[in-house]
Chain A
Amino acid sequence: DAGVIQSPRHEVTEMGQEVTLRCKPISGHDYLFWYRQTMMRGLELLIYFNNNVPIDDSGMPEDRFSAKMPNASFSTLKIQPSEPRDSAVYFCASSLLASGQSLNEQFFGPGTRLTVL
């Protein structure tokens, strides 16, 4: 398997523009997670899906952020309009549910480095 695939790897945009990040999870995994990583705040969970359904979006910072998972093999994270403080590395991860409601390990993609000027 190719692992979790993210695109683009780097994105530079201007404030106010719409940004769309894409993720393809590992085939067969039923959980998908979106994280944001910055030096100041570390790795933060934004939202996660189970079987394509959003379960917890409490980490989504503002209404400017939205995420969708139209099918088991694709998810998007959209920021509209983007702001300089959104600059960060965004990771997608996927996982399988283990037994007793415990998660198996999450497999992370290579990340998208977003710079908003």
Chain B
Amino acid sequence: EDQVTQSPEALRLQEGESSSLNCSYTVSGLRGLFWYRQDPGKGPEFLFTLYSAGEEKEKERLKATLTKKESFLHITAPKPEDSATYLCAVQAVGGKLIFGQGTELSVKP
């Protein structure tokens, strides 16, 4: 069964304290792994797509990496405005996305 597990469920950081979020997956025939950010009361907002093991992508303070079993979202020197829920999703054979439960990130000044 295709499955996505994110950890931790919640993460509290001080401003400037770097850390990583984990997304472990089991899927038959990975077509893509997606990271989204969701702010309270809004729809998820696209961050990155990774297609193959070893691939990395960066955007401002965020860097996403991918292996054959998991993906990491590294946050370098976070700011309070990075506070949000970060969702990981995998695209399985057939096209649909399977989302993890998300990691709720809180960055305190």
Contact = CB atoms under 8 A, between A and B. Distances in A.
A99 to B, nearest CB: 10
A52 to B, nearest CB: 15
A105 B49 contact: yes
Interface residues of B, number: 22
Interface residues of A, number: 25
B102 A42 contact: yes
A117 interface: no
Interface in B88-109: 91, 94-102
B44 A108 contact: yes
B87 A56 contact: no
Interface of B: 31-32, 34, 36, 42-46, 49, 51, 87, 91, 94-102
Interface of A: 4, 31, 33, 42-45, 48, 50, 55-56, 91, 93, 100-111
